[in-house]
């Protein structure tokens, strides 16, 4: 280790005194000005992780749907997955070490994780459009360089694009070319082939309005435009040229507030969707002729994809094991519809993409989505091989054609992580092939009324949960109180958990009417406030 270099560079990126941060569900997130040292150290950690795995590691600088003033960083593992949990702990240790302890902590990590410091290290870097992102990604570069690692800076990319190129690089091109051009070509080829099939069955031109949250999605859609088939017309709104990132727009705003974003004029029955700030989430919506807003969230996206893939698998005559993975935030109506009507097994896991991804890997076809619109589909290697072989060699025309559609779906889906661009193309292709309007899709089932709230407490970690976060174990008495409140309402359900990305406790409630869901969520918020050390004024009714 270049001890002098380390001293010099860590002095350039000093840690603010008394600051401790934790590598949470989405890496580190905080106010941008608190993050320079974290970026530098995550550059170092990525170099170490690269040496430990013998593969290229990704570092993405973004705070996704958080306000423009925030920023964040997360590491991407060799196959494009989230950082392995054992290394999250090293990330937290390294980020919180005092400047003078850095060398010692690096040595400790190398010992614990059997890192050979002589090996080559390779890191891919990407960043979102936040004003702070460029400088922070320079700090990441300093961290990689100080430990003698090589890097490739992809500059402005969506989070899923960075995951994609990391996966391509480490699978020797099997997943695609590790370039943005390779990404655009792979997706657009698969999409064009699918759309062509729908056009031959008489589908009209498709139109879609996209709110890009004033983020990276707008830039990348513009780059991709030349690759799109002419039959699909997209109009981009909130492209970041006028307004602030994620401000009153984007997938998170639309989902949480259940209303359209600012800056997108919506006529009745027009198809619209919103990306989040780093383009790894997507939600759809439309306004009906009476002016009512209809949100089509991640649960309904998972449902549409499940129906489509189940039909195709039946057509190719394969008994591949398919399942849907959700979190406790999935609307109860979606779970019921998937289990009873679509007849696909549904599993509930803890919040956080890594948990969903991990569970989905257990199946031949694992569909996972968070209600907020983050999700994708995973195909096992065996399932993929079977499908590709059937698409090439199957004698029965109908079966072969169905296998070809599945093959294109495999190529269109970004299997490394949820991807707004890829998901949008998957959805557009399915709607076109099935000849479905947004209204018909929306009518598959009706969401149970729900409400998501935040409560401020002194220390959110006093809340510990079990059963995929659906029950609180501590503080004492809280779960009993929630159970009693839930009993007061029909078709009701409620749970609380500490957020992994914000200093709040999240409260979720469902009930038979919106008023009841709101009232239940409010009463549970008060219980959290009183039993878990609420901060500031008590929560107000909605």
Where does this chain bind ligand NG1 (CB under 6 A)? 25-26, 64, 329, 351, 370, 372, 374, 499-502, 506
Residues 36-65 within binding reach of Zn ion (CB under 5 A): 64
Among candidates 182, 188, 153, which has minimal Cα distance to 167? 182
Q: How far is the CB of 499 from ligand NG1 (least distance, A)?
A: 3
Nearer to ligand NG1, 152 or 454 (CB): 454
Binding site annotation covers 276? yes
H/E element, 60: strand 57-61
Distances (CA, A) of 440 to 87, 97, 319, 329: 45, 54, 28, 24
What are the residue numbers of the active site? 64
Residues in the chain: 542
Which of the listed partners (ligand NG1, Zn ion, none) does 278 bind, with a CB threshold of 5 to 8 Å by partner kind? Zn ion
Work out what residue 25 binds among Zn ion, ligand NG1, none; the CB cut-off runs from 5 to 8 Å by kind: ligand NG1
Has 500 been labeled as part of a binding site? yes
Residue 225: CB minimum distance to ligand NG1, A: 27
Closest contact distance (angstroms) between CB of 65 and ligand NG1 is 7
CA distance 486 to 488: 5
Comparison of 276 and 384: residue with beta carbon closer to Zn ion:
276
Closest CA to 216 of 237, 199, 235, 240: 240
* 278 touches Zn ion (CB under 5 A): yes
To the question of whether residue 499 is assigned a binding role by annotation, the answer is yes
For residue 416, the partner it binds in Zn ion, ligand NG1, none, with Cβ less than 5 to 8 A by kind, is none
C-beta of 31 vs 336, nearer to Zn ion: 31
Q: Which does 351 bind (CB under 5 to 8 A by kind): Zn ion, ligand NG1, none?
A: ligand NG1
Q: What is the C-alpha to C-alpha distance for residues 331 and 218, in angstroms, rounded to an integer?
A: 29
User: How far is residue 337's CA from residue 304's CA, in Å, rounded to a whole number?
Assistant: 11
Beta strands in 184-243 (DSSP E): 206-211, 232-237
Establish whether 373 is an annotated binding residue: no
Residue bearing tokens 């591949």: 320
326 binds Zn ion (CB under 5 A): no
Report, in Å, the least distance between residue 327 CB and ligand NG1.
7
**H-helix or E-strand containing 185?**
helix 180-200
Helix ranges, 338-477 (H):
353-360, 381-393, 397-412, 420-434, 438-442
Is 278 a known ligand-binding residue? yes
Contacts of 204 (CB under 8 A, 6+ apart): none
Q: Which stretch binds Zn ion (CB under 5 A): 195-203, 224-232, 272-280, 285-293?
A: 272-280
**Beta-bridge partner residues of 152:** 124
What are the φ/ψ torsions at residue 121 (nearest 5 degrees)? -130, 140
Based on the shown chain and the rule CB under 5 A, indicate whether residue 276 belongs to the binding site for Zn ion: yes
SS3 content of the chain, % helix, strand, coil (to 5): 45, 20, 35
In the complex, the smallest distance separating the C-beta of residue 36 from Zn ion, rounded to whole angstroms, is 22
Contact 295, 285 (CB under 8 A): yes
**Residue 412: helix, strand or coil by DSSP?**
helix
Annotated binding-site residue? 30: no
Dihedral angle sign, alpha carbons of residues 345, 351, 352, 355: negative
Retrieve residue 536's tokens: 């500031």
Q: Is 49 annotated as a binding residue?
A: no
Tell me the residue number closest to Zn ion, measured at CB: 64
Residue 276 interacts with which of Zn ion, ligand NG1, none, CB < 5 to 8 Å by class = Zn ion
Q: Is residue 128 near Zn ion by the rule CB under 5 A? A: no
Peptide bond into 475 cis (omega under 30): yes
376 annotated ligand-binding residue: no
| Count of chain residues binding Zn ion (CB under 5 A) | 4
Among 280, 299, 370, 428, binds Zn ion (CB under 5 A): 280
Residue 415 contact partner, candidates Zn ion, ligand NG1, none, CB within 5 to 8 A by sort of partner: none
Please, what is the minimum distance in Å from the beta carbon of residue 308 to ligand NG1?
24
Tell me, letter by letter, the H, E, C secondary structure of 74-116.
Answer: EEECCCCCECCHHHHHHHHHHHHCCHHHHHHHHHHHHHHCCCC
Q: Provide, rounded to whole angstroms, the least separation between the CB of residue 64 and ligand NG1.
A: 5
Annotated binding site for Mg(2+): 64, 276, 278, 280
Q: Which residues make up each annotated binding site?
A: 64, 276, 278, 280, 370-372, 497-501, 506
* Sequence ranges of the binding site for substrate: 370-372, 497-501, 506
Positions touching Zn ion (CB under 5 A) are 64, 276, 278, 280
């Amino acid at each position: 280790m270049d001890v002098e270099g380390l001293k010099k560079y860590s002095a350039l990126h000093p840690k603010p005194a008394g600051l401790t941060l934790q590598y949470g569900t989405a890496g580190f997130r905080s106010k941008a000005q608190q993050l320079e040292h974290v970026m530098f150290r995550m550059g170092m950690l990525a170099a170490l992780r690269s040496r430990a795995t013998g593969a290229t590691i990704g570092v993405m600088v973004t705070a996704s749907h958080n306000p423009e003033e925030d920023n964040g960083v997360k590491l991407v593992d060799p196959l494009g997955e989230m950082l392995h949990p054992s290394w999250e702990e090293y990330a937290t240790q390294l980020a919180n070490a005092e400047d003078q302890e850095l060398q010692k902590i690096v040595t400790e990590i190398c010992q614990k994780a059997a890192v050979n410091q002589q090996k080559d290290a390779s890191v891919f870097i990407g960043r979102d459009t936040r004003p702070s992102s460029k400088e922070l990604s320079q700090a990441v570069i300093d961290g990689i360089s100080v430990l003698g690692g090589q890097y490739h800076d992809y500059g402005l990319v969506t989070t899923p694009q960075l995951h994609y190129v990391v996966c391509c690089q480490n699978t020797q091109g099997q997943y695609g070319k590790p370039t943005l051009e390779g990404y655009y070509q792979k997706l657009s080829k698969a999409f064009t082939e699918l759309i062509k099939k729908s056009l031959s069955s008489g589908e009209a031109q498709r139109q879609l309005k996209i709110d890009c949250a004033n983020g990276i999605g707008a830039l990348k859609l513009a780059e991709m435009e030349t690759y799109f088939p002419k039959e699909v017309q997209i109009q981009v709104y909130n492209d970041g040229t006028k307004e602030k990132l994620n401000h009153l727009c984007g997938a998170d705003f639309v989902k949480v507030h259940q209303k359209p974003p600012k800056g997108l004029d919506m006529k009745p029955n027009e198809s619209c969707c919103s990306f989040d700030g780093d383009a790894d989430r997507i939600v759809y919506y439309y306004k009906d002729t009476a002016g009512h807003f209809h949100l089509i969230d991640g649960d309904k996206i998972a449902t549409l994809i499940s129906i489509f893939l189940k039909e195709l698998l039946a057509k190719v005559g394969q008994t591949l094991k398919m399942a849907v993975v959700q979190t406790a935030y999935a609307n109860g109506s979606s779970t019921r519809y998937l289990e009873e009507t679509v007849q696909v097994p549904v599993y509930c896991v803890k919040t956080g993409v890594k948990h969903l991804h991990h569970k989905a890997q257990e199946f031949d076809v694992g569909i996972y989505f968070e209600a907020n619109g983050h999700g994708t589909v995973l195909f096992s290697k065996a399932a993929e091989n079977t499908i590709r072989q059937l698409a090439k060699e199957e004698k029965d025309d109908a079966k072969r054609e169905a296998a070809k559609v599945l093959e294109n779906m495999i190529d269109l889906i970004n299997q490394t992580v949820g991807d707004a661009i890829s998901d949008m193309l998957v959805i557009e292709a399915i709607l076109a092939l099935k000849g479905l309007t947004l209204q018909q899709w929306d009518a598959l089932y009706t969401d149970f009324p729900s409400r998501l709230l935040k409560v401020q407490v002194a220390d959110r970690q006093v809340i510990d949960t079990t059963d995929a976060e659906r029950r609180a174990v501590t503080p004492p008495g809280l779960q009993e109180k929630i159970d009693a409140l839930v009993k007061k309402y029909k078709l009701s359900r409620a749970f609380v958990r500490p957020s992994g990305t914000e200093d709040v406790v999240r409260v979720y409630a469902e009930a038979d009417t919106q008023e009841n869901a709101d009232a239940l969520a409010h009463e549970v918020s008060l219980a959290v406030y009183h039993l878990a050390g609420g901060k500031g004024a008590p929560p107000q009714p909605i």
